[in-house]
Structure 1
Amino acid sequence: MPIPSLPIKLLDGKKGLVVGIANEHSIAWGCARAFRAFGADLAVTYLNDKARPHVEPLAAELEAPIFLPLDVAQPGQLEAVFDRIAATWGKLDFLVHSIAFSPRDTLAGRVTDAPREGFLTTMEVSCWSFIRMAHLAEPLMKEGGTLFTMTYYGSEQVVENYNIMGVAKAALESAVRYMAAELGPKGIRVHAISPGPLATRAASGIPEFDALLEKAKNKAPARELVSIDDVGAATAFLAHDAARLITGQVLYIDGGYHIID
């Protein structure tokens, strides 16, 4: 599906990094499409050589001038991405962190039983990597900017089978608030985007996910599931100067699901 053409390029001239595109069903892809439609130039990463064939055509559709591998667990790769952005653009206006991971045995087990190694891996990829990206982005956001990460309702309510990822997302949302307070004086905004359940590759690792989708559709006031394009449009708005005094938020894009008991 081609990127839609919009008559007003609200983000024309803005430069952004999008991390987490795995395929055309990814939340990060919905965000990237929206940012590009609004006129932004994008840097795009892919996880590894296995992922590259799935992501490269999407990066080409975005006309991304920067396309690099990024596995945050591999030393030096994250720094290399930011070095390339600094050399190519000399600035960064926004970034989207849309990655999370937990070893299968850790994710499937009880939080009470989480092994130390599995817990640390979950936290490193799902939470610390966003903090590290913020650290590297800060000097490139000389005129302010916006940092986005993806979270989920399971951070504040116990969602069956979400398990240790709920703990990681709770830490991630807390990090958003602290970094928003620290970076706010520099004009850098920080947000956690909390979509309703989506049929993404990452979600496929959660047991009984189809039942969760059906529950969300029936329970949400809007009576429909959110799409990656819904998430993308809302995220792109928050990167615009019109949203310059909105920061530290967990923005729910879920048809109102989170307000219903």
Structure 2
Amino acid sequence: MGLFTGKKGVVLGVANDFSIAWAVTRKLLDEGAEVGFTHLPGDKMERRVRKLAEPIGAKLIASCDVQKDEDIARVFEQAGETYGKLDFVLHSIAFAPLDDIKCAFVDASREGFKTAMEISAYSLAAVSRYASKVMPDGGSILTLTYYGGEKVVPGYNMMGVCKAALDASVKYLAYDLGPKNIRVNAVSAGPVKTLAASAVGDFDDLSGLYDAVAPMQRNITREEVGAAGMFMLSDLSSGITGEILHVDCGYNVMGSPGRALAKGKV
């Protein structure tokens, strides 16, 4: 018997096997979960997700454009029909037009801002609204965030502002859904090389900074984030909601470069 034996959920946002969402999914599967998936519209994204989902026997593989309420509603109606009810949902969705990520936030376009906020932040509220309809016994909703929403991380630019909105959304959604025994939390991971991360800043420099500054003197692994995500979706975290769990080897607690300064690394 695993922690998720008999439990069913939906993962939104797997892009490939390097995705943090897939690292969490692997841990869920190891604990006995049954998992369905969504993918962006289009044959290319469907093939990517099916390549991972079909070998594990996923019963639900559905297209979903989170900019359309009707798409989100349809997906969770399908999930209810497929699984009866859901116990957990993993939201791993973020997007901004490349030009608006690459430039300084002050130069980001109005339309780019609207798009990025709608997909990266508002989508959590929309997903939570429709997911809650098929979570009659309560459950856990988890999203993925980053420290750039709390403090300025050069190169993260507009996505940092979107993550700040996402972090606030977690707290308000936790309040709204608490009476239904649905918990809403976020995992804030250190730098992990993913398809999304390739569009933001210089990954190698950022990873090296974590190696130098974090109390544990290293960066995190994808597996560590996966395990933390599984924990937050499990009944082991039944008393936790509205929280942002940092999985970053302690980087977020530092107010100075610490040992790195003494060693002349910064």
- Give TM-score scaled by structure 2 length: 0.91
Question: 1:90 & 1:70 partners in 2: Cα distance?
Answer: 20
Question: 1:65 & 1:44 partners in 2: Cα distance?
Answer: 9
Please say if 1:182 is aligned against 2:176. Answer: yes
- The Cα offsets for residues 83-118 of structure 1, whole Å up to 9 and x where unpaired, read as 110111221111011110000111112222221110
Q: Which residue of 2 aligns with 1:37?
A: 30
Q: Is this contact kept in 2: 1:33–1:62, CA < 8 A?
A: no
Q: Which residue of 1 aligns with 2:18?
A: 25
Please say if 1:104 is aligned against 2:98. Answer: yes
Aligned CA distance change for structure 1 residues 75 and 132 (closer, same or farther; 3 Å): closer
Pairwise CA distance, 1:151: 0.4
Q: Which residue of 1 aligns with 2:248?
A: 254
How many residues are aligned here? 254
Please say if 1:195 is aligned against 2:193. Answer: no
Q: Which residue of 1 aligns with 2:263?
A: none
Pairwise CA distance, 1:139: 1.5
Q: Give 1:46's aligned amino acid.
A: H
What is the correspondence of 1:140-155 to structure 2 with a 5 Å cutoff? Answer: 140-155=134-149
Question: 1:183 & 1:77 partners in 2: Cα distance?
Answer: 22
Question: 2:175 & 2:236 partners in 1: Cα distance?
Answer: 19
- The Cα offsets for residues 50-86 of structure 1, whole Å up to 9 and x where unpaired, read as 1222221210233211111223235632222111101
SS of alignment partner, residue 51 of structure 1: helix
2:112 to 118, 125, 128: 118
SS of alignment partner, residue 9 of structure 2: strand
1:59 to 37, 48, 53: 53
Q: Structure 1: which 4+ aligned runs deviate by more than 6 Å?
A: none
- Give TM-score scaled by structure 1 length: 0.93
* Aligned-CA RMSD value: 1.3
* Comparing 209-218 and 134-143, the one that deviates more: 209-218
Pairwise CA distance, 1:160: 0.3
Q: Which residue of 2 aligns with 1:244?
A: 238
Please say if 1:13 is aligned against 2:18. Answer: no
Structure 1 runs not aligned, ≥5 long:
1-7
SS of alignment partner, residue 81 of structure 1: helix
Pairwise CA distance, 1:210: 1.8
1:170 to 164, 168, 182: 164
Structure 2 runs not aligned, ≥5 long:
256-266
